[in-house]
A and B are shown apart, each in its own frame.
Chain A
Amino acid sequence: MLDLLGIVILFTIVAAIVAIEMRDILGVVIAISAVGTGLIIAFFFMLAPDVAIVPIVVEVLTLVILVKATLRPELKTFVGNRDFFGLMVTVAMLLVVGILGMRVFDGLPRFGVPVFASAPNTPGMYYVTNGLRDTGAANIVSSVILDYRAYDTLGEATVLFTAVMGAIAIIRKTARKAPSEPEVSEWQD
Chain B
Amino acid sequence: MMQILPLFVAIPLGAGFLIPLVGRRNPRLCDALGNMTMLALLAMAISVIGKQGVYWVGGWLPQAGIPLGINLVLDGASLVMLLTITTISFMVTLYSIQYMDRYTSRSRFYSLFSLMVAGMIGVTLTGDLFNLFVFLEIASIASYALVAFGTQHEELEAAFRYIVLGSVGAALILFAIAIIYALTGSLNMAGISRALGTSPKPIYFFAVAMFIAGFGLKAALVPFHTWLPDAHPSAPAPISAMLSGVLIKTLGIYALARVLFNAVGMTPLFLDVLLVLGTLSIMVGVLLALGQDDIKRTLAYHSISQMGYVVLGFGLGTRLGIAAGLFHLMNHAVFKTLLFLNAGSIEYATGTRDYNKMGGLRSKMPVTAATSLIASMSISGIPPFNGFWSKLFIIVAAVQAEKYGYAAWAVVGSILTLASFTKLQKRAFFDEPKEAAKVAKEVPVFMKASMIGLAVLCVLMGLLWLPRIQEGFFMQAAKSLQEGFEYATHILGQ
Direct contact of A and B (CB under 8 A): yes
**A interface vs B, CB < 8 Å?**
100-101, 103-109, 114-116, 119, 121-124, 126, 147-152, 154-156, 158-159, 161-163, 165-170, 172, 174-179, 183-184, 186
Query: Are B142 and A149 in contact (CB-based, < 8 A)?
Result: no
- Interface presence of B459 (CB below 8 A): no
User: Given B25, B70, B187, B203, which contacts A151 in the complex, CB threshold below 8 Å?
Assistant: B70
Query: Are A175 and B204 in contact (CB-based, < 8 A)?
Result: no
Which residues in A have their C-beta under 8 angstroms from that of B142? 162, 165-166
- Interface presence of B201 (CB below 8 A): yes
User: Given B103, B151, B152, B204, which contacts A177 in the complex, CB threshold below 8 Å?
Assistant: B103
Contact-residue bracket for chain B: 35 or more
A25 to B122 alpha-carbon distance, docked (Å): 39
Query: Are B134 and A152 in contact (CB-based, < 8 A)?
Result: yes
- Given A103-B202, A165-B111, A179-B102, 5 other A-B residues pairs in contact with their CB atoms under 8 A: A151-B69, A158-B138, A162-B115, A174-B104, A183-B105
Query: Are A161 and B17 in contact (CB-based, < 8 A)?
Result: yes
* Nearest opposing residue in chain A for B141, CB measure: A162
Q: A115-B183, A154-B13 are in contact. Are A179 and B104 (CB under 8 A)?
A: no
Minimum CB–CB distance for A183 against chain B, Å: 5
Minimum CB–CB distance for A53 against chain B, Å: 21
* Nearest opposing residue in chain B for A174, CB measure: B104
Which residues in A have their C-beta under 8 angstroms from that of B146? 166, 169
A148 to B156 alpha-carbon distance, docked (Å): 39
Query: Are B68 and A169 in contact (CB-based, < 8 A)?
Result: no
* Nearest opposing residue in chain B for A149, CB measure: B70
Which residues in A have their C-beta under 8 angstroms from that of B188? 123
Query: Are A148 and B104 in contact (CB-based, < 8 A)?
Result: no
Minimum CB–CB distance for B494 against chain A, Å: 14
Query: Are A159 and B104 in contact (CB-based, < 8 A)?
Result: no
Query: Are A108 and B182 in contact (CB-based, < 8 A)?
Result: yes
Which residues in B have their C-beta under 8 angstroms from that of A149? 69-70, 130-131
A179 to B103 alpha-carbon distance, docked (Å): 8
Minimum CB–CB distance for B219 against chain A, Å: 21
* Nearest opposing residue in chain B for A103, CB measure: B202
User: Given B58, B109, B119, B191, which contacts A148 in the complex, CB threshold below 8 Å?
Assistant: B58
- Interface presence of B148 (CB below 8 A): yes
Query: Are A107 and B201 in contact (CB-based, < 8 A)?
Result: yes
**B interface vs A, CB < 8 Å?**
13, 16-17, 20, 25, 27, 57-58, 60, 63-70, 98, 101-106, 108-109, 111-112, 115, 118-119, 122, 130-131, 134-135, 137-138, 141-142, 144-146, 148-152, 156, 159, 179, 182-188, 191, 195, 201-206
A176 to B152 alpha-carbon distance, docked (Å): 9
A107 to B188 alpha-carbon distance, docked (Å): 21
Which residues in B have their C-beta under 8 angstroms from that of A119? 184-185, 195
Query: Are B185 and A170 in contact (CB-based, < 8 A)?
Result: no
Minimum CB–CB distance for A83 against chain B, Å: 16
Which residues in A have their C-beta under 8 angstroms from that of B137? 155, 159
Query: Are B206 and A101 in contact (CB-based, < 8 A)?
Result: yes
A105 to B207 alpha-carbon distance, docked (Å): 10
Query: Are A175 and B141 in contact (CB-based, < 8 A)?
Result: no
User: Given A123, A151, A155, which contacts B191 in the complex, CB threshold below 8 Å?
Assistant: A123
Which residues in B have their C-beta under 8 angstroms from that of A155? 122, 131, 134-135, 137-138
Query: Are A121 and B64 in contact (CB-based, < 8 A)?
Result: yes
Query: Are B206 and A176 in contact (CB-based, < 8 A)?
Result: no
| Interface majority SS (helix, strand, loop, mixed), chain A | helix
Which residues in B have their C-beta under 8 angstroms from that of A121? 64-66
Query: Are A175 and B103 in contact (CB-based, < 8 A)?
Result: yes
Minimum CB–CB distance for B56 against chain A, Å: 10
Query: Are A165 and B115 in contact (CB-based, < 8 A)?
Result: yes
A175 to B103 alpha-carbon distance, docked (Å): 6
Query: Are A183 and B104 in contact (CB-based, < 8 A)?
Result: yes
Query: Are A166 and B144 in contact (CB-based, < 8 A)?
Result: yes
A148 to B131 alpha-carbon distance, docked (Å): 12
Query: Are A159 and B141 in contact (CB-based, < 8 A)?
Result: yes
Query: Are A107 and B131 in contact (CB-based, < 8 A)?
Result: no
Minimum CB–CB distance for B442 against chain A, Å: 15
Q: A107-B204, A148-B60 are in contact. Are A186 and B134 (CB under 8 A)?
A: no
A123 to B187 alpha-carbon distance, docked (Å): 9
A73 to B17 alpha-carbon distance, docked (Å): 39
Query: Are A123 and B108 in contact (CB-based, < 8 A)?
Result: no
Closest 3 CB pairs of A and B: A166-B145, A107-B203, A122-B185
Which residues in B have their C-beta under 8 angstroms from that of A183? 25, 27, 104-106
A129 to B148 alpha-carbon distance, docked (Å): 48
Minimum CB–CB distance for A159 against chain B, Å: 6
What are 14 A-B contacts with C-beta separation under 8 Å? A103-B202, A108-B179, A108-B203, A119-B195, A148-B60, A149-B131, A151-B58, A151-B131, A161-B16, A162-B145, A170-B148, A172-B151, A175-B104, A183-B104
A155 to B60 alpha-carbon distance, docked (Å): 18
A188 to B66 alpha-carbon distance, docked (Å): 53
Query: Are B185 and A115 in contact (CB-based, < 8 A)?
Result: yes
A154 to B72 alpha-carbon distance, docked (Å): 15
Which residues in B have their C-beta under 8 angstroms from that of A123? 66-68, 185-188, 191
Query: Are B118 and A158 in contact (CB-based, < 8 A)?
Result: yes
User: Given A122, A167, A170, A186, which contacts B66 in the complex, CB threshold below 8 Å?
Assistant: A122
Minimum CB–CB distance for A132 against chain B, Å: 15
Which residues in B have their C-beta under 8 angstroms from that of A177? 101-104
Which residues in B have their C-beta under 8 angstroms from that of A115? 182-185
